[in-house]
Every structure is written in structure tokens, then in C-alpha cells.
Amino acid sequence: MINHYIVVSHIIHYKDIGDIMLAWNPALISVNQARIWPPKMAALTIKQSKRPLFIMGSLLNIIPEKITEKSIKIAKKINVTVVATGGSNLALDKYEFKPDHTMGVVEIINNLKNPDWKGFDGKGNYDLVLFIGVPYYLGSQGLSTLKNFAPHIKTLTLCRFMHPNADMSYPNISYDEWVDWLSKLIDYLD
């Protein structure tokens, strides 16, 4: 059951661990499932990255603003290139946050899968891509592209639905828990 687990630091105790770690839509089973990555691990991964990229998707326009606020805080804590996709600029604008780039999520994934892409700044491709707010099914497909055709890139999803095609993913969590996990991630990034 989704709500029946507690989080203590980065250790997770699940009453029904199998269910929570499955893809949000259980039909999206995958040969190589993502590893569940709690906030502390996520923070460590982000800190270790030399060239991270943060994709902020269109759902930011329709989910509670707190998520946008947290996403911006994460971006400001780290040296990351932020790409707004699908019109999320509108949500980001409310916080006077200007993304580094605006592009279609399919377009950015198409560029990322090319190991020779020079990146937005001409300094080369990225080594870690963070996702938040991309519609689940489209996000899942994009992650599948990167998983199968871009071995040079690691992906970490900060969404509240488990993404099996990511390398690392938050599990399926409730909205309140999601806010909590994002807050913890911000703290761990200090």
C-alpha cells in the first residue's frame, strides 16, 4: 500500500516494498529497473556530478506551486543547467526564476543521446540528468531512450511516481511525502 511506509533519514521501511518500488503503472515493467534513490543518495549523486542538467517539465504549471518552489531551490543550490520544457516557464516565472534554456523535452533528449553533443555551453554533453514535472508516460519514453541508447548519461527522477526506465528514481509516494523528500534533498545539498 502506498501510504504505509515511513522514512527515517535515508533508510526506508516499507510494509509493502514490492508495490511501492514497482513502476507507477505496473505494466511498464522493464528488464533493468531503476534503483530507488532516497534524498540523501540523490544529494550525493548530484554533488558528484560534474555536468548536471535539470529538466523541469510542464506539470509544474498544474501541480501545487510548492513543487516548483522546491525545484527552484534545488537548482539554486547546485551548479546546474536548467531546461524548461512544455511551457513550465509560466510556473517558473511566478518565482522570477529564469531557466537557462527552453526546449522540447523530446528535443533535449535527442541531443543528450548524442555522445558528441557539445551541450548548451559548448563544453560537452552532460553526465547526470535530473527530471521533475514531465508527464509520466512521455517521461518514461524519454528515459527509455536515454537508458537504451545513451550509456554516457545517468538519469535521476525526482517525480512522485517511480520511473523504471531511470537509473535512479524516487519511489511511488504521496504528495506530502514528495514535498518532504524534496525538502530533505535540499537540506542534503548543503
Partner 1 sequence: MPKTEPKRENDSVIIKGLDLDFKDIDVYLKEKQKVNSVQKNVSLNYPELREWDLNLLSYFKPFYAPLCDMCCMCTYGKCDLSNNKKGACGINLEKQQSRIALLTSCIGASTHAAHARDLVDRLLEKNSNLELKYSNLIDLTSPITTTLTGITPRTANELDEVMSCVEKELTNLMASAHTGQEGAHLDFESKALHAGVMDHLALEVAEIAQINLYDLDKGESNTPLLEIGMGVVDSEKPVILCIGHSIAPSSKIIDYADEKELLEGLEICGLCCTAIEQGRYSPKSKIVGSISRQLMFIRAGIPDLVVLDEQCIRADILELCAERNIPIIATSDKCSLGLPDRTRESPQKIVSEIMNGDSPGVLIRDMDKVGKVAVDLALKVKARTLTPRENSLQEEDLETLIKDCVECGQCERVCSAMLPITTSLSEAKNGDTSLLASFYGKCVGCGKCMEACSENIPLIDLIRMAAEEKIASEKYLIRSGRGPVQDVEIRKVGAPIVFGDIPGVIALAACSNYDKGEEEIALIAEEYLKRGYIVVAAGCAAMDIALYKDEEGKTLYEKYPGDFDKGGLLNLGPCVANAHAIGSAIKIANIFAKVPLENNFTEVADYIVNRIGVCVIAWGAMSQKAFAIATGANRWGIPAILGPQASKYRRLYLGNDLEPRNIKDQRDQSKVMCEPAPLHLAYSAESMNECMTLAAKLCIRPNDTPRGRMIKLSNYIDIYKKYYGTLPSDLHLYIRDEKEIPFKEKDEILKKLKEMNWKPRKSPHEPSICMG
Binding region for partner 1 (CB under 8 A): 1-2, 24-27, 30-32, 57-58, 61, 85-87, 89-90, 93, 101-107, 110-111, 134-138, 141-142, 144-145, 147-149, 151, 172
How far apart, in whole angstroms, are the C-alpha atoms of residue 35 and residue 54?
A: 19
For the bound state, the minimum distance from the C-beta of residue 94 to partner 1, rounded and expressed in Å, comes to 10
CA-based torsion, 92, 94, 97, 102: positive or negative? positive
Output the CA torsion 64→68→69→72 (10° steps). 170
| Bridge partners (DSSP) listed for residue 154 | 128
CB nearer to partner 1: give 8 or 31: 31
CB nearer to partner 1: give 9 or 104: 104
For the bound state, the minimum distance from the C-beta of residue 39 to partner 1, rounded and expressed in Å, comes to 23
- Cα diameter, the chain: 47
CB nearer to partner 1: give 49 or 88: 88
Sheet with 128-132, side-by-side order of all strands: 35-36, 168-169, 154-157, 128-132, 52-56, 81-84, 101-102
CB nearer to partner 1: give 163 or 184: 163
For the bound state, the minimum distance from the C-beta of residue 190 to partner 1, rounded and expressed in Å, comes to 31
For the bound state, the minimum distance from the C-beta of residue 155 to partner 1, rounded and expressed in Å, comes to 13
For the bound state, the minimum distance from the C-beta of residue 28 to partner 1, rounded and expressed in Å, comes to 8
